[in-house]
Amino acid sequence: MAVEPVVIIGDVILDRDLTGRSVRLCPDAPVPVVDTDTTLTSPGGAGLAALMCARIDRVPEVRLVAPLADDVHGEQIRADLTDIDVVALGHSGGTRTKTRIRSEGQTLLRVDDGGPGLPVDVDRQAVADALAVGVVLVSDYGAGTTHDEGIRTAIADKAEHGTVVWDPHPRGGAPVPGCALVTPNLAEAQAAAREFGLEVLPDRPDELAAGLRRAWRAHAVSVTVGPEGAWFADEGGCRLIPSRHQEAGDPCGAGDRYSVAAATALSRGESAATAAGRAGAAASTWVADGGAAGFRGRGNQPSPSPLDGFAHRIEQTRRSGGVIVATGGCFDILHAGHAHYLRAARELGDLLVVLLNSDDSVRRLKGPARPVMPEVDRRHLLEALACVDAVVVFDEDDPRAALEVVRPDVWVKGGDYRADTLPEAPLVHSWGGRVEILPLTPGRSTTSILRRTRDVG
C-alpha cells in the first residue's frame, strides 16, 4: 500500500521525566522528597508527534516544520530527530521545557520553563513548500505557531487543495476551513463552542461535534471523550466510535497519539471515519503501554507486541493456567451465525481473541466489492460482543503471523473447513495447541445475506 509523506507543523517542547522514589517529607515544608534515579528526555509537542509517526506508525517520510531555539535544549531536540526531515523556523526565547517529577509511576509535580516560542522571521514560501507534499498534521501546543498569519495562509492553502488534520489547543489559533479532520478533546471542544457561542447541553457531545464541524467548516470533527471513545461528526451525521477495552496506564501524550494515528491512516488513503477508529485504538494502546513516559523509557521505540494493549491480559490468563482461544475471519456483516459461533468458541476456554482480516486483506480474498463494512465498524461490532475479549487486525492473506504472536491453546474454525487442510494447523500444533472445528448455523452467511439484499433491491 502506498503511503504519502506526513508533514507535522506546530510547537516543539523538550519533555523531561525525573523519576525516583519518595519515602520521606521535606523537613522544612510538608512536601515529598523524591530521590531521583533516572532522567529521561525527548522532544515533546509536535516533536513527539513526529517521532510517533516515524517510529510507531513507520511512515517512510516524515517532515517536521517548527520553531526551534538555538540553545542547548534546541540542539538536544535536533539530535533526537535525526531520522526526521526538520524544517526549522525562527524561535523567540529559549526552548520550552516541561519537566515532570515522578515517583513510582505517579506524577507529583510538573514544572514549565522557557519560551515564549513564537515563530520569528518566517519565510512564508519556505513553509508553503514544506507543506506541499503528503498529509499535514497541525500539532498545536499554544506557543503561537498557529497564530502566525504567514503559516496560517500556507496551511489554509493546503487544506483547500490537500489533506490537513488539526489537533487544536485552547491558546492556539482556530483550525482553518477545509480541514479533513479536527481532533479536540472534550475540554478543548467545549472551550471552542463557548467562543463560537454554541449552545450545547453538557450531556450532548454529539451535538458538540456536529456544531463545531459546521463552525470550523471542517469535513469531519472527532471529539475524544477519554475511555468512552470519540464522537465523530461528518456530512453523514454524528456517531460514537467507542474505545476498545483499556488497561490502566498513563494518558500523557494520548491526544498526540490519536491525531498522529489519524493522519497516518489518511496518508494510506483511508476515510476519515476509518482513520478515527484506528486513532482510538492507537491511543488506547499508547495509554496501556505507559504513555509518553513508557515511550521515552523504551528509547522512543514502540511496544513490540501487535496485540494493541491486550498482551498483558493474555499473559495474565496464560500464567494463571487459563485457556486462550483464538479464531479468525472477515466477519463482514455480523449476523446471528457469527454470534452463535463466537459464543461457542468462547466456551472452549477462558479468553477469546478474534483475528480479523483488514480491509485490504478482505479485498484480496473476496474481491473489490468487499468488505461491505469497513474494518473499524467490523472491529467495533465484534468488541461489543460479551464473548469476545480481544480483536487483533492482520493485513496478511492468512493469520499465521498473528497466530505466532497470540499462540493460543485452541484455534477454532467453522465447519466449512477441515482441520487437516488448514495451513495454520502445523503452526498451532508446534506449541502444543489444538484445532477445533465448530459447526456453522445453517442458512446464516454473509454471502446469502448479500444475495437476498440484491434480490430485494
- Which residue ranges make up each domain of the chain? 6-297, 311-456
3-state SS track over 295-312: HHHCCCCCCCCCCCCCHH
CATH class of 311-456: alpha beta
Instruction: Give the relative orientation of helices 375-383 and 272-288 as an angle to the nearest 10 degrees.
Output: 50
Residue 451 CA to residue 159 CA, distance in Å, equals 41
Sort strands 6-10 and 135-139 into parallel, antiparallel or unpaired. parallel
Residue 442 CA to residue 449 CA, distance in Å, equals 13
pLDDT of residue 395: 87
Handedness of CA 61, 66, 71, 77 (dihedral sign): negative
Q: Around Cβ 38, how many Cβ atoms within 10 Å? A: 11
Q: Tell me if 324 sits within 8 A of 314, measured CB to CB.
A: yes
pLDDT of residue 457: 47
First to last CA, the chain: 34
Residue 343 CA to residue 389 CA, distance in Å, equals 11
Residue 36 CA to residue 109 CA, distance in Å, equals 13
> Are 6-297 and 311-456 the same fold in CATH?
no
Residues of the chain whose pLDDT is less than 50?
304, 456-457
pLDDT of residue 303: 53
**Residue written as grid cell 475540554:** 187
Give the DSSP letter of residue 373: S
Query: CATH fold of 6-297, please?
Result: UDP-N-acetylmuramoyl-L-alanine:D-glutamate ligase (3.40.1190)
Q: Tell me how far CA of residue 375 lies from CA of 232, 309, 334, 356, 370, in angstroms.
A: 16, 18, 12, 8, 11
Residues marked active site are found at 256
Hey, what amino acid is at 32? P
